[in-house]
Chain A
Amino acid sequence: MIRVDIAGKHFGDVQVLGRVRFDIASGETVALVGPSGIGKSTVLRIVAGIDTRFQGHVERPEAMAIVFQEPTLLAWRSARDNLLLTQPGLTPEGADRALAKVGLEGRGEAFPLQLSLGQQRRLSLARAFAGKPELLIMDEPFVSLDPEMAEQMMGLTETLIAEARPATLFVTHATAEAERLATRILHLEGRPATLRA
């Protein structure tokens, strides 16, 4: 169980987040939606532990994974090493299996920049699921993709989530994405932003 209890978050004198409190159970997929600039990514960064300057408390597991808007790979390491370096318990064979699962069979030696953008995003997904995360965080993972690639990536993500069943929090401004992937939708609104009752 992931427990998020944010009492407030300020950037300088500006309070961007008010009380934001929610839980995510194992196997549950929660979408956080709201207009651009409302603070969705800020909530996500707090939950991920990237932003620690806030009032409140977050209970999160050790095994976490994150998928950003961009693939955010180690471009200077091979595809296989991108998995091995972020998942220390993984064996090279396990990394190759994780790559195969996202359609990157035989590309373990390739550097990320030698892959297409679609393949880089698949690699980012492979990295996220290779370590069997208890908490998966996704920050608008399908934004800026063409409809065909977005459909492919959503299908792949659905399959991987169904297999691994992590607690998933993902941020999106696309209602259709939220309705398709999420088991529960949270709406962030107002200034400072809070969850809609």
Chain B
Amino acid sequence: MSIGLLLALWVMAAWLTADATILPQPWALVGPFRREVMNGELPYHLGETLVRVAWAFALAMLAGGALGLVMGRNPVLNRWLDPWLVIFLNLPALVLIVLCYLWIGLNETAAIAAVVFNKIPNVATVIREGARALDPAVDAMARVYRMSAWARLRHVTLPQLAPFITAAARSGIAVIWKIVLVVEFLGRSSGVGFQIHLYFQLFDVTMVLVYAFSFIVVMLAVEWLVLQPWERHTRRWRQE
């Protein structure tokens, strides 16, 4: 219903604009979309961006999760690292991207590192809150029963952190793919961001929209087909 309303607004705006080079009608994207799929350009660039998103997401979740966990469990370390976290949280994404390209070079490592460094503080902040909320009684129980460190992490700590990990993952994936597009826009020769940059230079609004919407659809599919089922799985024990 709401998507239908959005489409109606688009149709209305395109009709009022009456200039397909500025805002084409939604159905005008179908032809260019099909052409890009058939000639392999869209799948290739989508794939490149998805690989970068996957790497950046995995690394940011791992590093940010570990940092948040130790900061949440260790007040001394938290006091030391909290100012760093605040600084990195407030550092504009663009600054980190430019610095990574300048320091590391215009390569894949710099591209992914820029995204990871942008996202780590957010993930760490969320997971730190989760680590502070861990139930000390359950932890004490696990130690009395001599559960190994690995078993405690897997069966005691991570399940309690699951809602926070899910929240960090969902907000993370939403932010990461947008930053990946900027990274590609500024310094890569492949990916959806690169294609948007290319068609921006050609002032081809239709193709910009084709690539943008294609990737939005893919990320919505990731949200609906991966993240939401996983969240339901992690919450199944709450069913009364």
Contacts and interface: CB of A to CB of B under 8 A. Distances in A.
B239 A111 contact: yes
Nearest to A85: B155
Interface in B9-43: none
B235 to A, nearest CB: 9
A75 interface: yes
Interface string B75-113: 000000000000000000000000000000000000000
Interface string A72-110: 101111000100011100000000000000000000000
Interface in B141-198: 141-147, 151, 155-156, 159-160, 162
Interface stretch (A16-24, A27-35, A60-68, A172-180): A60-68
B237 A66 contact: no
A50 B155 contact: no
B131 to A, nearest CB: 16
B140 interface: yes
A160 interface: no
Interface in A32-64: 45, 48-50, 62, 64
Chain A interface size, under 10 / 10 to 19 / 20 to 34 / 35 or more: 20 to 34
B140 A50 contact: yes
Interface residues of B, number: 22
Contacts of A113: 237-240
B54 interface: no
Contacts of B236: 111
A87 B240 contact: no
Contact of A114 (B141, B156, B240): B240
For B137, B238, B239, the residue with the greatest tally of chain A CB atoms inside 10 Å of its CB is: B137
B143 A77 contact: no
Contact of B144 (A50, A87, A114): A50
B213 to A, nearest CB: 38
Interface in B213-240: 234, 236-240
B133 interface: no
A49 B145 CA distance: 10
A153 interface: no
A77 B156 CA distance: 9
